[in-house]
Each structure stands twice: as structure tokens, then as C-alpha cells.
Amino acid sequence: MKWSEQAWLSIEPIYESILQMPFIQELIDGTLPLEKFQYYLMQDSIYLEHFGRSLAIVGARAQNIPDMLAFFRFAETTIIVENALHESYFKDFAIVDKDTIQPACHHYAHFLRSTAALEAVEVGMAAVLPCFWIYKAVGDYIYQHQQTGNNPYQKWIDTYAGEEFGIAVRSAISICDANAAQATTVTQAQMTEAFIASSKLEYDFWEAAYINRRWK
Ligand SMILES: Cc1ncc(CN)c(N)n1
């Protein structure tokens, strides 16, 4: 079994609970209250910068040039494509003042940065993988279960369910598998641990947006 197949099996219960979250269910029918989506967007635009930097760190530490270039491209696409999506929503909602970083975003962003910088590079690759894979899976799920044709969150859904994002996701998965195949069993286990931690932090990120979790 490939590393990615066993890694996904290990997060299956987390993924299933993500699909049941009110944030995701209400994205599907377009009833998610605007202020919850706005909290999410503001935190996510902060997150994306940290995520992009983490991808660039992993790229710089990659063991071969194709992997290095792939991670640099992921970093560039994240900053350009996903940020453009956020900016278009900020424009639609006339948001000028952005929020400061809140606990869930802070936790996730700094977990990614420290893992990318300080752990074995394969572990850094595994830590950023849920940011690709879970978003693609959730985007596809929402796309397939949509009922209304008039969803204010359609641009978000189309981005993550889209084929362009799908190509990047497949590439990130296969790079992780190739690196895992060359790694020791200890490193493989650390990869899985990092993959699980990031998957839990994805859950937490959406939950924080739904309940408006803020620093005391
Ligand atoms: C928190 C989070 N995780 C993942 C993604 C998709 N790159 C995102 N935009 N935000």
C-alpha cells in the first residue's frame, strides 16, 4: 500500500467529521451566515501567507530539483490563485479592515512553519499535504452534493473542486509517496503523524470560524 493510501485511511474519521461540520453543510446549501465566512476568509488570507512560506521552505529543502520546483510552484500558485479568490470576496463584501491572527490560524500556521523548517523534509511534505488533499476532497464533495444554483460561496467551491487544483493535489500526493518510499520507517511514521496533526488543524480552522473563536 502506498504511504498516501495508509495516511488517508488514518484520517478517514477526521475527514468524515469535517464533512458533517455545520460550516461545510451550510456551504453546500449556501446558508452559511456571511459573518462566519468572513471570519474564515480573513483568517485564511493570513494563513495562506504562512502556508506559502512553508511550501517554499519545503521546496528549498527538497532532495531533488523536480520536487524543489514543484513546491516553489505550489507556493506561487497558493499566493496568486487562492489570494485572488479571497481578494475578490473582500471586494464583494466591501471588506477593507482585515482581522489579526486568531488562535486556530496561529496554531496551524506555526505548526506548518516549524515542521517545514525543523523536521525531516519528508515530514514537512506530509504536514502540508492535507491543505491540498482535504480541500480537494471537501470541494468535490460539496460540488457533488449541491442543490441550489444560487450559492454565494460558488467561487470558493469551484476553486477547490476545479481541475487546476486537482492537478496540484495529485502532484503533491505523488511527491509524498515517492519521498516516503525512500524514507526510513521512523520517518514514514513521523510523516503520518504530521499528516494527522494537520488534518485535525483543518477541522479546527473551520470550527473556529463557525464559533468565532478569538483570543481572550
Ligand atoms: C486552512 C486552509 N487549509 C487549506 C487551504 C487550501 N490550500 C486553505 N486555503 N486554508
pLDDT for res 35: 95
Minimal-distance CA residue to ligand 1 atom 4: 131
Cα–Cα distance for residue pair 45/176, rounded to 1 Å = 26
Q: 10-53: per-residue pLDDT in tens?
A: 999 999 999 999 999 999 999 999 999 999 999 999 999 999 99
Read off the pLDDT of residues 62-96 as tens digits, 9 standing for 90 and up: 999 999 999 999 999 999 999 899 999 999 988 88
User: Measured between alpha carbons, how far is 128 from 135 in angstroms, rounded to an integer?
Assistant: 12
Is residue 82 in contact with ligand 1, taking CB distance under 6 Å?
yes
Percentage of residues in the chain having pLDDT higher than 90: 94
Residue nearest to ligand 1 atom 7, measured at CA = 131
Q: How far apart are CA 66 and CA 72, in angstroms?
A: 10
Q: Over the stretch 164-214, which tens digit does the pLDDT of each residue have?
A: 999 999 999 999 999 999 999 999 999 999 999 999 999 999 999 999 999
CB 133 within 8 A of CB 103: no
Q: What is the pLDDT of residues 90-113, one digit of tens each?
A: 999 888 888 999 999 999 999 999
> Ligand 1 center to residue 196 CA distance, Å?
15
Q: Which of 173, 163, 166 is nearest to 5 (CA)?
A: 173
Domain ranges of the chain: 3-211
From 47, 81, 129, the mutation candidate for ligand 1 (largest count of ligand atoms within 8 A of CB) is 47
| Contacts for 99 with CB less than 8 Å, ≥ 6 apart | 39, 42, 43, 46
Q: What is the ipTM of this complex?
A: 0.99
Res 148 pLDDT > 80? no
110 Cα: distance to centroid of ligand 1 (angstroms) = 14
pTM over 0.95: yes
Ligand 1: distance of its center to the CA of 18 in Å? 13
Cα 128 to ligand 1 centroid, rounded to whole Å: 10
pLDDT of 131 above 80:
yes
3-state secondary structure of 128: helix
Which ligand 1 atom sits nearest the alpha carbon of residue 108? 1
Buried b (16+ CB within 10 A) or exposed e, 58-74: bbebbeeeebbebbbeb
Whether ligand 1 lies within 6 angstroms of the CB of 128 is answered as no
The CATH number of the domain covering residues in 3-211: 1.20.910.10
Q: 172 C-alpha vs ligand 1 centroid, how far in Å?
A: 14
Q: For ligand 1, atom 2, which residue shows the shortest CA distance?
A: 131
**How many other C-beta atoms are found inside a 10 Å radius of the C-beta of residue 148?**
11
The answer, yes or no, to whether any atom of ligand 1 lies below 6 A from the CB of 205, is yes
Q: Is the CB of 133 under 6 A from ligand 1?
A: no
